[in-house]
Chains A and B, each alone.
Chain A
Amino acid sequence: MDKLVSRLLLLAACSSAAILALIALFIFKEGVPIMARSGLGAFLLGRDWSPLQGQFGILPFIIGSLCITLGALLIGVPLGVACAVYLAEFSSPRWVNILKPAIELLAGIPSVVYGFLGVMWLAPLIRIRLGGPGLSILAASCVLAIMTLPTIVSISIDALQAVPKSYKQGSLALGATEWQTVWRVLFPAARAGILAGVILGMGRAIGETMAVIMISGNSTAIPHSALDSVRTLTANIAIEMGYATGEHRQALFATGVILFFFIMILNGAALRFARRKF
């Protein structure tokens, strides 16, 4: 009986891996031929995306994805880590009980709602105050920063709380102030965990689609400033999938292949950091 149950559970466990394998197989089967035909260099470094004229260069989208993700991290990481330090080390239990569920609730808001707020409120604000079209890298980064907060905060809190109490007590006993203890002892000790949280947040930012389509403007040009509009890899697939046939469709799958590699690299890095406790 035990053996049967364990086999059944093994089957269940394998199913998710099998689905992943099938998805990868399918994306590669559809996407790789077009990359081979137009040349990997021309595909990755081409600046011109006009699928109906047979031009498939996705460099603007790679830059777009990287810029928006980097921007989201620049805003989200300081905010998220600061929040985690406060909740893990300084706050009274009462505040933890209010703040932590509130931050976790952020993760439950559908991304279309974030996108809608970005379009109606943030983009006009940026356009009027800072110039540019409003629908921009900056707008998308701000919204994605908020969307990555729950991931960064909750994993960072876990990492900080996993540091043995003796480290903190020892530091305080030696006369260090609380801030010195956090900065010099807890941070270095929890670094790996916090980094894992940041990388997982980054994965969320790079994979986000709906909100980004709504607030990044989806221009196919290479951006020159944070106020310019860009299109991300995910947005490119989602926007054009409905119409694409033939080579165009294959090019969108090829975009998916590149995205697949991005996510694999990020998750691989996150796993490495997460395993390296202290």
Chain B
Amino acid sequence: MTTMIRTKATVSFFVLAIAISGSGSGCARKSENTITLAGSTAFQPFAEKLAEQYLETHTDVRVNVQGGGSAVGVQAALAGSAQIGMADLLTLPEEAKTLTPTVVARDGIALVVHPKNALAELSATQARSVFTGEINNWKDLGGADAPIRIISREEGSGTRRSFQELVLGDSKLSPNALFQNSNGTIREAVASNPDAIGYLSIGLVNDRVKSISYAGVVASNENVKNGTYPLARPIFLLTKGEQSPMVREFIDFVMADASQRVLEKEGLIPAK
């Protein structure tokens, strides 16, 4: 008898637990005046900053900024779980064709080495050979006899995808590459290894690492703006279908001169 009661209690608890977990997804109800942005972690801090300023003049609206990565930005916009998806991709994936993209800014990618490394520049072909592992010793580039340690972002990151398209093309990244999962940790890994080479957002380069020229052009926001530095990617805000007035107003705010100046001051390249 006791066993039966026990079994019953266990079973009913399981049912209860499943019921609770099942109803969880239904709870995500959206309030009428909330704008949700989700996606690119590269743009997230900037979006948060702009949202904060937006709220100063629009007290009746709530703006909710979530991360998750560019892929999540596309998915969230498609599924409608966010009104605005954020993505920092060179080309949007096939499934994003139905979304309306707005380029709000651009972000350059700099090649970086250790400050003690004498290398000042890589041609496009050299850069590709280094990152595919074809050239694997610094002496082949006129440096010391030491192996080249590639430090890359992980597969799926927006920076990595753009870098792949711009620098590697159809070639594959060297299988010996090490991986770090953010711009900041790439910088630390390169700063702590004299043999390392990596890539990260131009805005995040500081004096712990040395940025080198690519194809004869110095990596700087000015050169991205005037079109001479080729390693840059657009940052998209993605919306699905007809934009609601509230969403359109927010995107207009992001595109307004004052907001674009803010983005520029924080290290991005304005869209206009």
Interface size on A, residues (CB 8 A): 37
Which residues B138-157 have CB closer than 8 A to chain A?
Answer: 149, 154-157
* Contact sample, A vs B, 12 pairs, CB 8 Å cutoff: A14-B9, A14-B13, A52-B155, A123-B192, A135-B189, A214-B185, A218-B179, A220-B175, A221-B176, A242-B72, A243-B69, A244-B71
A231 contacts B193, C-beta separation under 8 Å: no
Contacts A11-B13, A124-B192, A243-B157 known; A133 to B71 CB distance under 8 Å? no
Contacts A22-B21, A240-B154, A240-B155 known; A133 to B193 CB distance under 8 Å? yes
Which residues B210-236 have CB closer than 8 A to chain A?
Answer: none
Flag whether B34 is at the interface (Cβ < 8 A): no
B179 contacts A248, C-beta separation under 8 Å: no
> In the complex, A120→B161 CA distance in Å?
29
Q: Could you mark each residue 5-22 of chain B with 1 if its beta carbon is under 8 Å from any beta carbon of chain A, else 0? A: 010011001100110010
B14 contacts A21, C-beta separation under 8 Å: yes
Q: Report chain A residues within 8 Å CB of B172.
A: 50
Given contacts A19-B17, A50-B155, A240-B156, 16 further A-B contacts (CB under 8 A): A11-B13, A14-B10, A15-B17, A22-B18, A51-B155, A119-B188, A124-B193, A133-B195, A134-B192, A135-B178, A214-B185, A219-B178, A220-B175, A242-B69, A242-B181, A243-B71
Query: What number of residue pairs across chains A and B have CB atoms under 8 A from each other?
Result: 90
B13 contacts A133, C-beta separation under 8 Å: no
Flag whether A213 is at the interface (Cβ < 8 A): yes
Contacts A10-B9, A14-B9 known; A245 to B18 CB distance under 8 Å? no
Within the complex, the shortest CB–CB distance from B6 to chain A, in Å, comes to 7
Contacts A22-B17, A133-B193 known; A221 to B41 CB distance under 8 Å? no
Residue of B nearest to A217 (CB): B178
B9 contacts A244, C-beta separation under 8 Å: no
Q: Could you mark each residue 185-220 of chain A with 1 if its beta carbon is under 8 Å from any beta carbon of chain B, else 0? A: 000000000000000000000000000011001111
> In the complex, A248→B156 CA distance in Å?
9
